[in-house]
Structure 1
Amino acid sequence: MADFRLRVTFNKSGRLGMLSHLELARALERAVRRADLPYAVTQGFSPHMKIAFGAALPVGVESICEIFDVSLTEYVPAQEALERLQRASAPDLMPRAARYLQTGEAAASVAFPISRYEVRLSVPANALRVPEQIVVVRKKKEKVLHPAEFIRSMRFGAEDGQGGECVLAFELEAKKTGSLRPDVLLDAMVKESGVQDARVLSIVRTEQRPLSATV
């Protein structure tokens, strides 16, 4: 049976930015079904839609560049598939682009290890400091992460004209041995700075790219 892999780029914003990764996956599967696309299903005891998702976002982090791959059993022109998905999707989970993958292209979960984030803060961005290490607890075990190993770049912006908020932009690299969540990094930076009333107002993922791409 033919297997046409369609890659869809979509926004995750507004109130739906609060969806967990599991809730997001279910919402996207429902959108594919409502769009009446001829999706493929897995074989075995519990068949389900052949769909793969990009790197998970923490709850509350928005994005303009989220990705999922869905396998179709019949060819549907990419633009038509996109329009069907747009009609079937909520505004806060709106598909922006769709294309078919070529043979050998990596799955969405591993294709783009570098993510760029833009953050709005209640204080000047350069008032925050990156700690040398962060202790996180995962599955009741402590793990020490060194932010310098994950941060590819960091730029401190000026006020953006919206109520005196300030902007911080940075890139994080997800490694095979693990990753550093943007919200965990920012919480640690706020604590490290000791600045009174320092708050993270919003986090948006603005780009995902492979290691080989130029900055």
Structure 2
Amino acid sequence: MKARIKFRKYGIMRFIGHLDVMRYFQKAMRRADIPIAFTGGYSPHMIMSFAQPLGIGVTSDGEYLDIELKEPVASDEAVKRLNQVMVEGMDVVSFTEIPEDKKSSGMTIVAAAAYEITMLVSGKSMYETVPVPGEWDRALEAFLKETTLNVMKKTKRSEKEVNIRPMIYRMEASGEGLSMFLAAGSEENLKPDLVMETFLKYMGLASEEHPFHIHRKDLYAKTADGSYLPLEDLGHRIQM
């Protein structure tokens, strides 16, 4: 049986990198007595995979971890046990059963991500944000009318020029900040900080002078009809 865990990451835990989050959940599984399965061989390890690693400093309401279970455990019980061993800044939201096939793994199916961007004031915390300036509404409208937004995009091995406009599915401004719905996953992946830096540059502003905070709302899979569903909605609760 395979299960998907949805969790939140916030507060001081936003500074913990992906590898440390992985080690953290390995310890949490043991402490919460979750019957997770292990690989075989001389060096067995827990069977788990994350849908989309989160950047350091980014908070999130929608992170996903897929695991394989040796035996079923009720969703409510699993969430309760895990939250009892969580530290401040990490909460488990849901625990659902997902299909056994590899094509259903979060790492494979994630296709988009939703973000909220808030502007920061120098000398204040990330929670003391300022509204997006009114003139940004007009600039954003013009920005999204562009069919080509070429930027230098870094990969693990090189750097190349990429048109990021097709990967911006939606981008809106409000009094609180900016919301983005961007391509994510193995096929196409667009980081919100790159979009924000490109937008500020489009307006003739320097990102260093306009600090911002990124919050990931959720991760989505694309359905057969072209719509998007949160990864959480592709599983079902385990009842015993």
- TM-score where L is the length of structure 1: 0.85
Match of 2:105 among 96, 107, 110: 107
Task: Please list the CA deviations of residues 34-57 of structure 1 after superposition, one character each: whole Å capped at 9, or x if unmatched.
Answer: 111111101223210001111112
Name the SS for the 1:188 alignment partner: helix
- Where does residue 182 of structure 2 map in the other structure? 172
Which residue is equivalent to 2:222?
Answer: 211
Task: For residue 185 of structure 1, give the secondary structure of its aligned residue in structure 2.
Answer: helix
Q: 2:180, 2:192 within 8 Å by CA — same for their partners in 1?
A: no
CA distance, structure 2, for counterparts of residue 157 and residue 198 of structure 1: 20
The letter for the 2-side match of 1:116 is A
Q: Are 1:119 and 2:117 matched, yes or no?
A: yes
5+ long unaligned stretches in structure 2: 121-131, 230-240
Unaligned ranges ≥5, structure 1: 161-166
Say what the alpha-carbon RMSD is for the aligned residues: 2.2
Matching residue of 1:164: none
TM superposition outliers: structure 1 runs of 4+ over 6 Å: none
- 1:57: which partner in 2? 54
- In the TM superposition, residue 194 of structure 1 has moved relative to its aligned partner by 2.1
Distance 1:145 1:71, change over 3 A: same
Residue in structure 2 matched with residue 163 of structure 1 by the alignment: none
Contact 1:38–1:73 (CA under 8 A) maintained in structure 2? yes
Deviations along 1:133-177, one digit per CA (max 9) or x if unpaired, are 11033345212221112111111112x3xxxxxx10011112544
In the alignment, residue 105 of structure 2 is paired with which amino acid?
Answer: A
Residue deviations 1:157-215 (CA, integer Å, cap 9, x gap): 12x3xxxxxx1001111254441211222223223322367524311111221112358
For the Cα contact (< 8 Å) 2:52–2:185, is it kept in 1? no
Q: SS state of the match for residue 94, structure 1? A: strand
1:23-34 alignment runs, 5 A limit: 23-34=20-31
Post-superposition CA distance 1:64-100 (Å, at most 9, x none): 0101011111111111111100101112111011111
Partner of 1:5: 2
2:170 aligns with one of 133, 146, 153? 153
1:209 is aligned with what amino acid? Y
Quick one: distance in 1 between partners of 2:16 and 2:165?
29
Amino acid at match of 2:61: I
Percent identical: 27
State the AA in 1 paired with 2:154: V
The normalised TM-score by structure 2 is 0.77
